[in-house]
Amino acid sequence: MSPLGPTTEAEAAAFISEARRAGKPLVFQGGGTRAGLGRPINAAQVMTSRGLTGITLHEPAELVISARAGTPLVEVEAKLAAAGQVLPFEPVDLRPLYGTTGEPTVGGIVAGNWSGPRRVAVGAARDHLIGVRFVNGRGEAVKSGGRVMKNVTGLDLVKLQCGAHGTLGFLTEVTFKVLPKPESTATLVYGGLDDRRGVALLTDALTSPFEVSGAAHLPPGTGGAGARTLVRLEGFSPSVDYRCNALQSLLAEFGMPVRLTGPDALELWTEVRDARFLAEPREHAVWRLSTPPTSGPGLVDRLRNELDFVHFYDWGGGLIWLSTAATGDAGAAAIRQALGPDGGHATLLRAPDGLRAATPVFQPLAPALLALTRRIKASFDPDAILNPGRMYAEA
């Protein structure tokens, strides 16, 4: 069956209304670059946003851009680059991890709240999303937010849609607040530190006054022979030079770093952002673990007795990318038990369909949170036809 491909919001609303009347669930698709994310869906029909393309607004002076949900991310980034601007949260591109082709879309970025290394400095995609248009499970077009940042009272539908993975609505248009592109970038690379010392360095760097915009630790064998601890600084060239020197002095106990700039630094942070270190072996499962940054090394130590894995840290140690064999539950029980002492959550980002059907992909919810999630889902999608079961079997 050919995918439904609306080219207008009205068409999208008509398709969803008809699916509701027929009782036929829909699975949503953007560029198809994250096929294999979430729980497998048994849906009657695919509905794609690929026909909803085009930048609808760009006001460089106001630092705002809007685009239809199916617009390729590369098109939006090119438009911003021409004005010396960027999406500040560094959208993640998971094609290397999934082995997919196509182009990531801005709607897909919003649906997953996909945010890269700069999140430690400027926040996530959700923090820069200021407006959305979407069609809910009743076939109603909804607009929330606008072109300015402001406080919101009541239910903030903009933030609610970001990270909902299409379970609360079919996105048709998104609006972002953007920032000027940094004039200069430099990365301090420290070698030979173990996980605890590496994360301690990142903690000192992030709590310094020197405005770190990237903080990652790569254990031995993660894209290189030895361990590397990365600290990135961005801004005007004189400021970056001053802050690099000051930070080196502050972190002198950790050794003398190599200063990396230009294409080599850009490529290294792209590898961190997209978890390219874990793309192979392709048959392995990949997890994303979120925990308090200083708790990361302890969490990894607890897992050493339970699992064989490859890992690295981003977000100052608060995000742990981890690859395990895709056998049994791919380490789900051990990982979620290890998270217990310090809190956090684990997402099974890549695994075979059967494993994702049998193992909770997203962190299991406490009963009260699950009940709330069900009520929110029912309010947007009363007949459960939009990406049903994508995040939780029970909601």
Per-residue confidence band for 225, with pLDDT thresholds at 50, 70 and 90: confident
Q: What is the pLDDT of residue 151?
A: 47
Residues 207-228: what's their mean pLDDT?
95
Residues 118-136: what's their mean pLDDT?
96
Cis? peptide before 281, omega within 30° of 0: yes
Select 184-273's CATH number: 3.30.70.2190, 3.40.50.300, 3.90.1150.10, 3.20.20.70. 3.30.70.2190
Residues 11-38: what's their mean pLDDT?
94
Alpha-helix runs per DSSP H in 251-311: 262-273, 296-304
pLDDT digits (tens, 9 = 90+) for 280-320: 999 999 999 999 999 999 999 999 989 999 999 999 999 99
Q: What is the pLDDT of residue 99?
A: 94
Please state, in angstroms and rounded to a whole number, the distance separating the CA atoms of residues 183 and 178: 15
SS3 content of the chain, % helix, strand, coil (to 5): 35, 25, 40
Q: How far is CA 392 from CA 245, 374, 375, in A?
A: 48, 10, 13
For residue 230, list its beta bridge partners: 189, 216
State the fold for domain 276-358. Alpha-Beta Plaits (3.30.70)
% of the chain at pLDDT higher than 90: 91
Please state, in angstroms and rounded to a whole number, the distance separating the CA atoms of residues 51 and 164: 21
Asked if pLDDT for residue 146 goes beyond 80, the answer is no
pLDDT digits (tens, 9 = 90+) for 164-216: 999 999 999 999 999 999 999 999 999 999 999 999 999 999 999 999 999 99
Residues 345-352: what's their mean pLDDT?
97
Q: Mean pLDDT score of the chain, rounded to an integer?
A: 95
Q: What is the pLDDT of residue 154?
A: 44
Domain with CATH 3.30.465.10 in the chain: 1-181+365-395
Asked if pLDDT for residue 153 goes beyond 60, the answer is no
Please state, in angstroms and rounded to a whole number, the distance separating the CA atoms of residues 4 and 7: 10
First to last CA, the chain: 26
Q: Which of 52-61, 142-151, 212-221 has the lowest mean pLDDT?
A: 142-151
Domain with CATH 3.30.70.1710 in the chain: 276-358
Please state, in angstroms and rounded to a whole number, the distance separating the CA atoms of residues 260 and 329: 40
E strand intervals along 219-370: 228-235, 258-260, 285-290, 309-314, 319-324, 345-350
Q: Which of 34-43, 210-219, 274-283 has the lowest mean pLDDT?
A: 34-43
1-181+365-395 is a CATH 3.40.50.300 domain: no
Asked if pLDDT for residue 150 goes beyond 60, the answer is no
Please state, in angstroms and rounded to a whole number, the distance separating the CA atoms of residues 50 and 109: 14
Q: What is the pLDDT of residue 211?
A: 97
Per-residue confidence band for 161, with pLDDT thresholds at 50, 70 and 90: very high
Confirm if 229 and 190 have CB atoms less than 8 A apart.
yes
Q: Name residues whose C-beta falls within 8 Å of residue 209's C-beta, 6 or more positions apart in sequence.
A: none
Domain with CATH 3.30.70.2190 in the chain: 184-273
pLDDT digits (tens, 9 = 90+) for 252-266: 999 999 999 999 999
Asked if pLDDT for residue 394 goes beyond 50, the answer is yes
